[in-house]
Chain A
Amino acid sequence: MSQSSLSILLLGALGLVGIGVGGLVLSRNLYRLVLALAVAETGGNLLLVLAGFRPGAAAPIIEPGRAVAAMVDPVPQAMVLTSIVIGVGVQAFALGLAIRARAAYGSLDMDELRGRMEADIDAEAGAPPAASQHAPAIARLAGQPEAKP
């Protein structure tokens, strides 16, 4: 395989990472966040496999008949196996959380969920709700003292 397509592969891997990370910071939908994470991790795995690849080398599997040819580095492949499974495990857990959050707050919008969460925390602590983003700045800066019952 030519060097140019190696560069293309590198670009592809990093492109996946860029797209995934971009989606991770851009989107506010929990489900979409999980997707973005999956895409970015796929890119990372591709990169890691690339780290062990040599053009013209064979897959690291010995066919009994054939003589042992030059092979690609097997260690990164083993690592990638691990990281793929890890990624799926985290993805499943995140989806479970999203389901619960949706069931509790009836929304998948991160901003809304975050607001509800802050409100719950303050309510449980018995502290007055924090000054909202829309309150005049000076009120936010002044900050409230601790709650006195």
Chain B
Amino acid sequence: MTALDTVLALSTLAALTAFLFGNARSYAWLAGILLTGQIVLLAGMDLPTSASLDFTIFGQTVGWQLDGFGRFFALITVGAALASVSYMGGEWGERYAAEGKSRRWLHGSLAANVMAMLLLLASKDLIAFFIGWELTSWAGFLLMAQGTDRALRAALRYVPYAMAGAMAVLGGLVLTLAWTGTLDLDGLASAMPDLGNARLAILLVLFGTGFAIKMGLLPFHLWQTPAYAEAPGAGTAFLGAISSRMGLFGLGLLLVKMITLSRLADLSLVDGLFNARDVLAWIAALTIVLPTFTALKQNDARYLLAWHGIGQSGYMLLGLVVGDATGSAGGLLHVFNHATYQAALVLSVFAVMHRTGTADLNSLGGLVTRMPLTFLVMLMGIIGLAGLPPMNGFVSKWLVYRSLMMNGMPLLFLMTVLGTLGTILSVYKLIHNTFLGQLRAEHEQIREAPWSMTVPMLVLVGLGFLTGAAPGLALRWVAQAQAALGLPVMSYTLGGIESARGSLDMLWVVGVLFAGFGIGAILFYGVGNRSKRIHQLDNYAGGHFLSADVRYHYSDNFYAGLMHRIGPLYRGSFVWLESALASATDLTATLMQAWYRQAVPALALLAAVVLGLGWVIWR
């Protein structure tokens, strides 16, 4: 019984118990214990560890084995699940149950997600990989469909995407088997680069499409936002933190481990006009920019964050595709960092929803006085999302920027910067419309979120700050992941990276930053403090006084000027594409059905026989 067996057994046990006792008030404790056990085992596991269960079917051996790459994702998965479960354990879960929704199903689908993802991450061959892949997709569907009919509809919109992705992967699988004769990942790592360009391109398109759909890369991203945003709070946090990263995991295996980046660079498309690697890099860059600016237009905090989730995955892929030590390290590290602050942000938004009952950015404001802790969480969260020090988001993005500069990709660098700009703008909108400005009259009686919700959020942002100040803690796992993929391993220190061409030590950065804050404070308060506290509502705008009964909050039509400039650029082309595809299918289906509604089927049969005989005779 290896450690991996134990982990899988624990996750299975968690799923079973969740479906059995999920409705119990105190079930969250059991789930938390089981998840903590998995984290400990995963962290202490020596690599690679293989499961003792494997079987042979139709000449293929199916087995499971966890290496550094998988372990990195597995840790994030279980951690995110732990955060969500503890969030569900308290008042939020009570309210959820009180609304007549099933905690059993929520717990169960969450545990099922963890189990499925672990199976996926530990897969040793493509069949095991596909099994895990499908289980992940449908467990994700289950989690998305919880709660409301809106969520169910969003999840149903996810179905065709998920199935198309799965079928693309399956097609790639069978072609791989036909061409290389093996399905073992290590075997493919040696066999696949020898394939001809055409075959490799076909496999790249098939597998790539499947993974890109899961990851929400352009142009397959439309399903993700509603599906993630409409899920129940804890579920949204988990999904946004890790779920779509499984696509990145797959791409990592495919591009880096099996095909290898150098082979990718040789794989020239459109007779040498550009190579596959550039194409992927540019897809990633576009995935950074377009969804980020779409997020800018959102008026629902959940949707805004979901769109950012799509955008941030672009950084990860970009770093991975650049593929040198720092770049890939940045991309992988960003997975972890994004998980921390995305989960924290989502949870904080749902904390606000828990109190105010809405996530509509036009009907909130001024909550900072009522929910200071939640405000703190969201502040640190958006700092991380925007990629500014001292949070960890800065480190990973810096690594990606750096590798882009070093590898002479200025245009891509500009794209990432553009994306960051959009991120800053939209996250400012988020926090301003939620917490700043004047408190609304209906929110006078709001209290701070309960501890059961604030503690997980604070832990998450604390983790974000810690790994921001001392990235080395997280870079350990990243280095193992790089090694497992066969990438150049980045040499790291506790504070960051040590390199001849410009190193980074976050300990210094953070230290200087806080020193600066301290000096500023001393100057401000020490040298004749002229400030005076006034009430939140005691201010005036546009030259005329506002009485306390008129609440003034500038939130509607945020960034009017900017939107006046860039508004016309939003074309909704992808939505158009999706609906066009749908109606095309509809049309074909109607035509096909006409065959079965014909008046005289015998006539069609006769015609077919005549044509067939004609074919036979004059063949």
Find A25's partner among B587, B589, B590, B600 (CB 8 Å cutoff): B600
Q: Chain A residues near B600 (CB, 8 Å)?
A: 25, 110
Query: Is the CB–CB distance between B590 and A21 below 8 Å?
Result: no
B500: Cβ under 8 A from any A Cβ: no
Q: Chain A residues near B591 (CB, 8 Å)?
A: 141
A140: Cβ under 8 A from any B Cβ: yes
Q: Chain B residues near A130 (CB, 8 Å)?
A: 597
Q: How far is the CA of A24 from the CA of B603 in the complex (A)?
A: 8
Which residue on A lies nearest to B600, using beta carbons?
A: A25
Q: How far is the CA of A140 from the CA of B591 in the complex (A)?
A: 9
Query: Is the CB–CB distance between B602 and A143 below 8 Å?
Result: no
Q: Which residues of B in the span 564-619 have a Cβ within 8 Å of any Cβ on A?
A: 586-587, 589-591, 597, 599-600, 602-603, 606
A114: Cβ under 8 A from any B Cβ: yes
Find A141's partner among B590, B597, B606 (CB 8 Å cutoff): B590
A118-149 vs B, Cβ < 8 Å mask (1 yes, 0 no): 10000000000010000000001111000000
Q: How far is the CA of A141 from the CA of B587 in the complex (A)?
A: 6
Query: Is the CB–CB distance between B586 and A21 below 8 Å?
Result: no
B570 to chain A minimum Cβ distance, whole angstroms, is 28
Find A24's partner among B586, B587, B590, B602 (CB 8 Å cutoff): B602
Q: A141-B587, A143-B590 are in contact. Are A114 and B599 (CB under 8 A)?
A: yes
Q: Chain B residues near A142 (CB, 8 Å)?
A: 586
Query: Is the CB–CB distance between A25 and B599 below 8 Å?
Result: no
Query: Is the CB–CB distance between A143 and B586 below 8 Å?
Result: yes
Which residue on B lies nearest to A25, using beta carbons?
A: B603
Which residue on A lies nearest to B583, using beta carbons?
A: A142
Query: Is the CB–CB distance between B599 and A21 below 8 Å?
Result: no
B614 to chain A minimum Cβ distance, whole angstroms, is 16
Q: How far is the CA of A140 from the CA of B594 in the complex (A)?
A: 10
> Which of the four size classes fits the interface of chain B?
10 to 19
A111 to chain B minimum Cβ distance, whole angstroms, is 6
Q: Chain A residues near B603 (CB, 8 Å)?
A: 25
Find B599's partner among A111, A141, A143 (CB 8 Å cutoff): A111
Q: How far is the CA of A103 from the CA of B586 in the complex (A)?
A: 39
| Most chain B CB atoms below 10 A, which of A24, A25, A118 | A25
Which residue on A lies nearest to B605, using beta carbons?
A: A25
Q: Which residues of B in the span 264-279 have a Cβ within 8 Å of any Cβ on A?
A: none
A105 to chain B minimum Cβ distance, whole angstroms, is 16
Q: Chain B residues near A21 (CB, 8 Å)?
A: 606
Q: Chain B residues near A114 (CB, 8 Å)?
A: 599
Query: Is the CB–CB distance between A25 and B586 below 8 Å?
Result: no
Q: How far is the CA of A147 from the CA of B606 in the complex (A)?
A: 36
Q: Chain A residues near B599 (CB, 8 Å)?
A: 110-111, 114
Q: How far is the CA of A62 from the CA of B235 in the complex (A)?
A: 88
Q: How far is the CA of A70 from the CA of B443 in the complex (A)?
A: 109
A90-120 vs B, Cβ < 8 Å mask (1 yes, 0 no): 0000000000000000000011001000100
Which residue on A lies nearest to B604, using beta carbons?
A: A25
| Most chain A CB atoms below 10 A, which of B586, B591, B597, B600 | B600
Which residue on B lies nearest to A22, using beta carbons?
A: B606
A42 to chain B minimum Cβ distance, whole angstroms, is 18
Which residue on B lies nearest to A115, using beta carbons?
A: B599
B149 to chain A minimum Cβ distance, whole angstroms, is 13
B321 to chain A minimum Cβ distance, whole angstroms, is 42
Q: A141-B590, A143-B586 are in contact. Are A25 and B606 (CB under 8 A)?
A: yes
Q: Chain A residues near B590 (CB, 8 Å)?
A: 140-141, 143
Query: Is the CB–CB distance between B597 and A25 below 8 Å?
Result: no
Q: Chain B residues near A110 (CB, 8 Å)?
A: 599-600
Q: How far is the CA of A52 from the CA of B587 in the complex (A)?
A: 52
Q: How far is the CA of A118 from the CA of B593 in the complex (A)?
A: 14
Q: Which residues of A in the span 45-81 have a Cβ within 8 Å of any Cβ on B?
A: none
B361 to chain A minimum Cβ distance, whole angstroms, is 32
Q: Chain A residues near B597 (CB, 8 Å)?
A: 118, 130
Q: How far is the CA of A111 from the CA of B603 in the complex (A)?
A: 14
Q: How far is the CA of A110 from the CA of B589 in the complex (A)?
A: 26
Q: How far is the CA of A143 from the CA of B593 in the complex (A)?
A: 11
A1-30 vs B, Cβ < 8 Å mask (1 yes, 0 no): 000000000000000000001001100000
Q: Chain A residues near B587 (CB, 8 Å)?
A: 141
Q: How far is the CA of A143 from the CA of B584 in the complex (A)?
A: 12
Q: Chain B residues near A140 (CB, 8 Å)?
A: 590
A136 to chain B minimum Cβ distance, whole angstroms, is 14
Q: How far is the CA of A130 from the CA of B593 in the complex (A)?
A: 11
Q: Which residues of B in the span 528-586 have a Cβ within 8 Å of any Cβ on A?
A: 586
B106-122 vs A, Cβ < 8 Å mask (1 yes, 0 no): 00000000000000000
Q: How far is the CA of A38 from the CA of B602 in the complex (A)?
A: 15
Q: How far is the CA of A24 from the CA of B590 in the complex (A)?
A: 27
Which residue on B lies nearest to A36, using beta carbons?
A: B602
B211 to chain A minimum Cβ distance, whole angstroms, is 33
Q: How far is the CA of A118 from the CA of B590 in the complex (A)?
A: 16
B156 to chain A minimum Cβ distance, whole angstroms, is 13
Q: Chain A residues near B586 (CB, 8 Å)?
A: 142-143
A14 to chain B minimum Cβ distance, whole angstroms, is 13
Q: How far is the CA of A118 from the CA of B599 in the complex (A)?
A: 11
Q: Chain B residues near A118 (CB, 8 Å)?
A: 597
A127 to chain B minimum Cβ distance, whole angstroms, is 13
Q: How far is the CA of A87 from the CA of B451 in the complex (A)?
A: 83
A27 to chain B minimum Cβ distance, whole angstroms, is 10
B589 to chain A minimum Cβ distance, whole angstroms, is 8
| Interface, chain A (partner B; CB < 8 A) | 21, 24-25, 110-111, 114, 118, 130, 140-143
A118-B597, A141-B590 given; 18 more Cβ-contact pairs under 8 Å: A21-B606, A24-B602, A25-B600, A25-B602, A25-B603, A25-B606, A110-B599, A110-B600, A111-B599, A114-B599, A130-B597, A140-B590, A141-B587, A141-B591, A142-B586, A143-B586, A143-B589, A143-B590
Q: List 20 A-B contacts (CB under 8 A).
A: A21-B606, A24-B602, A25-B600, A25-B602, A25-B603, A25-B606, A110-B599, A110-B600, A111-B599, A114-B599, A118-B597, A130-B597, A140-B590, A141-B587, A141-B590, A141-B591, A142-B586, A143-B586, A143-B589, A143-B590
7 nearest interchain CB pairs?
A25-B603, A143-B590, A25-B602, A141-B590, A24-B602, A25-B606, A141-B587
